[in-house]
């Protein structure tokens, strides 16, 4: 099932935490890959991925797939 462009944009905004620049998530992800044992970096990445995962699992589109 295809999701709307608006919903895709909202999902993206979860990873970006309201930042306008896509580079925010890219920088956070690469910082985590470079140093996965840093608790601050881990927390930043984990929180965003957990929020994204929770939202996707609750989407009606996911339940219908």
Residue 65 has pLDDT above 80, yes or no: no
Q: Of 65 and 13, which is predicted with more confidence?
A: 13
Please report, in angstroms and rounded to a whole number, the separation of the first and last CA atoms in the chain: 6
Q: Mind listing the pLDDT tens digit for each residue in 4-33? A: 999 999 999 999 988 888 898 999 999 999
The span from the CA of 29 to the CA of 24, in Å, is 9
Residue 35 DSSP one-character state: -
The span from the CA of 17 to the CA of 44, in Å, is 10
- Can you read off the two tokens belonging to residue 36? 């996965």
Residue 64 has pLDDT above 80, yes or no: no
What is the domain extent for residue 18? Answer: 5-64
Give counts: helices (H), strands (E), the chain: 4, 0
Q: Mind listing the pLDDT tens digit for each residue in 41-63? A: 999 999 999 999 999 999 888 77
User: How many domains is the chain partitioned into structurally?
Assistant: 1
CA of residue 57 relative to chain centroid, distance: 13
């Amino acid at each position: 099932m295809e999701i709307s462009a608006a919903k895709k944009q909202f999902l993206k905004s979860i990873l970006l935490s309201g930042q306008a620049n896509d580079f925010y998530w890219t920088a956070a992800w690469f910082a985590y890959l470079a140093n996965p044992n840093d608790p601050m970096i881990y927390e930043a990445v984990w929180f965003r991925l957990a929020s994204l995962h929770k939202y996707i699992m609750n989407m009606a589109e996911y339940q219908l797939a």
